[in-house]
């Protein structure tokens, strides 16, 4: 085991020196511990490699500060997020992080250290076997999530305490995840299962399946219109000459997936030239496109994104919200989830067990997309209801059966 202090990672050093030292400590695979108590300023991104286990002991706090070069990245990110090569076996435990109002500089706004759509302080993309535990972050600013994991297999987040103005845990596409023993107090979503999302909020698209959310508490706070759990799905199509596209629309062309990255103002654009670039941004016909799903083989590119096999168990909801669980396909200036004429997959196998609503809530569940039966077992609704609304942009679909046991 390596101690980060032997690389110069110390409370008395400035943020640039500490970022450089901690990166040196995790540059090679193995176990790294930060044991000297104190508040450590950090002004640049820490890049995590495969088979790296980084642990912060009690009494250690990291405080983000602005990078002098004006470019802020994520606080922590895996190197494969940039290379497209999958990382595996990364563990980040015991992190106590103060964001201090510092947020990433988005790639779409000229950021040179970020990936479009990957906007969390702790961010993972193209990963397998990721473990985050005992993390405390209670000062989320309005833009960046606490934890974001996308294009993944086998991810666990447990015993975390996350508070502030943005999402606590934000999942993109992937399979086999657990969120356990976590506490939230967020003005935005506590947990987002957004296998489809705005082009600036998700770095990849596709199905999200096989998840367990258990023993979690949504702590009492100010009323908010955001959700405890948001499920956002979507679909897209192949590029066609002369097609009309809007901000966040996705298309497939020549084995690559691209998204429109313009302003969210409902402007319609006519696309006559297909996007063909290998990575990042390029402009065609006055339309700015960003390449996404970079690590996905051409014959594996999805045409839709939906959620299935999700269990919520032993959930204590104390935060007043208009809707606690939202299942929907969006159709607004930020994202058109549905493209007319294309099949929308159903959200399926959603189970709630011992979910207890202990606050003022209008809707426990609100459904606005095609959804297969939902099962509730031993739940306390406390006067909240389950509402279903037909999504007028989609072909008519049958109401969702609600099974209460």
**The pLDDT value given to residue 396:** 86
Grouped pLDDT means (10 residues each) for the chain, 405 residues: 95 97 95 98 98 98 96 97 96 98 93 94 98 98 97 98 98 98 97 95 96 98 95 93 95 96 95 95 96 91 94 98 96 87 86 97 96 97 96 87 96
The residue ranges of every structural domain in the chain are 2-233+305-404, 237-300
* DSSP state for residue 101 in the 8-state scheme: T
Alpha carbon distance, N-terminus to C-terminus of the chain: 50
Query: In a 3-state reduction of DSSP, which class is residue 336?
Result: strand
**The pLDDT value given to residue 262:** 95
Phi, psi (rounded to 5 degrees) for 304 = -160, 170
**The pLDDT value given to residue 338:** 81
**Cα–Cα distance for residue pair 173/294, rounded to 1 Å:** 13
CATH T-level fold of 2-233+305-404: Pectate Lyase C-like (2.160.20)
Beta bridge partners of 354: none
Give CB contacts under 8 A, 24+ apart, made by 281-288.
281/107, 281/108, 281/116, 287/245, 287/260, 287/262, 288/260, 288/261, 288/262
**The pLDDT value given to residue 226:** 96
Taking a C-beta distance cutoff of 8 angstroms, is the pair 69, 45 a contact? no
**The pLDDT value given to residue 395:** 84
Closest by CA to 231, choosing from 154, 170, 274, 275, is: 170
**The pLDDT value given to residue 36:** 97
**The pLDDT value given to residue 340:** 75
Closest by CA to 125, choosing from 157, 81, 62, is: 81
**The pLDDT value given to residue 121:** 98
**The pLDDT value given to residue 76:** 98
Sequential DSSP letters for 266-319: ---EEE-S----SSSEEEETTEEEEEE-TTS-GGG--SEE-EEEEEEEEEEE-S
Locate 370 and state its tokens: 């095609």
Sequential DSSP letters for 147-200: EEEEEEEEEEEES-EEEESS-SEEE-SEEEEEEES-EEEESS-SEEEESS--TT
**The pLDDT value given to residue 343:** 72
**The pLDDT value given to residue 345:** 84
Contacts of residue 316, Cβ cutoff 8 Å, sequence gap at least 6: 216, 217, 218, 356, 358
**The pLDDT value given to residue 170:** 98
């Amino acid at each position: 085991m390596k101690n980060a202090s032997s690389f110069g990672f110390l409370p008395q050093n400035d943020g640039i020196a500490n970022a450089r030292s901690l990166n040196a400590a995790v540059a090679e695979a193995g176990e790294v511990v930060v044991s000297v108590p104190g508040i450590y300023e950090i002004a640049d991104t820490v890049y995590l490699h495969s088979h790296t286990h980084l642990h912060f002991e009690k009494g250690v706090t990291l405080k983000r500060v602005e990078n002098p070069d004006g470019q802020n990245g994520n606080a922590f990110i895996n190197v494969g997020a940039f290379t497209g090569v999958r990382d595996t076996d990364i563990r980040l435990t015991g992190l106590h992080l103060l964001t201090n109002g510092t947020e990433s500089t988005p790639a779409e706004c000229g950021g040179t250290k970020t990936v479009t759509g990957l906007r969390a302080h702790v961010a993972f993309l193209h990963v397998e076997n990721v473990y985050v535990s005992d993390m405390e972050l209670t000062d989320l600013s309005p833009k960046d999530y606490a934890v974001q994991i996308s294009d993944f297999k086998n991810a666990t987040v447990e015993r975390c305490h996350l508070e502030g103005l943005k999402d606590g845990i934000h999942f993109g596409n992937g399979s086999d995840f657990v969120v356990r023993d976590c506490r939230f107090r967020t003005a935005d979503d506590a947990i987002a299962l957004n296998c489809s999302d705005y082009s600036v909020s998700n770095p990849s698209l596709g199905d999200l399946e096989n998840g367990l959310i258990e023993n979690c508490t949504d702590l009492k706070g100010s009323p908010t219109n955001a959700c405890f759990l948001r499920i956002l799905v979507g679909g897209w199509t192949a590029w066609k000459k002369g097609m009309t596209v809007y901000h966040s629309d996705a298309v497939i062309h020549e084995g690559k997936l691209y998204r429109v990255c313009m302003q969210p103002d409902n402007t319609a654009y006519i696309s006559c030239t297909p996007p063909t670039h290998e990575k990042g941004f390029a402009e065609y016909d006055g339309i700015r496109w960003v390449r996404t799903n970079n690590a996905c083989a051409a014959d594996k590119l999805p045409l839709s994104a939906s959620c299935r096999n999700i269990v919520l168990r032993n959930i204590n909801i104390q935060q007043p919200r208009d809707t606690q669980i939202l299942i929907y396909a969006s159709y607004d200036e930020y994202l058109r989830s549905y493209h007319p004429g294309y099949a929308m997959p159903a959200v399926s196998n959603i189970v709630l067990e011992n979910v207890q609503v202990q606050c003022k809530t209008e809707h426990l569940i609100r459904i606005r997309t095609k959804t297969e039966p939902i099962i509730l077992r031993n739940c306390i609704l406390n006067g909240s209801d389950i509402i279903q609304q037909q999504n007028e942009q989609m072909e008519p679909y049958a109401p969702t059966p609600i099974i209460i046991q």
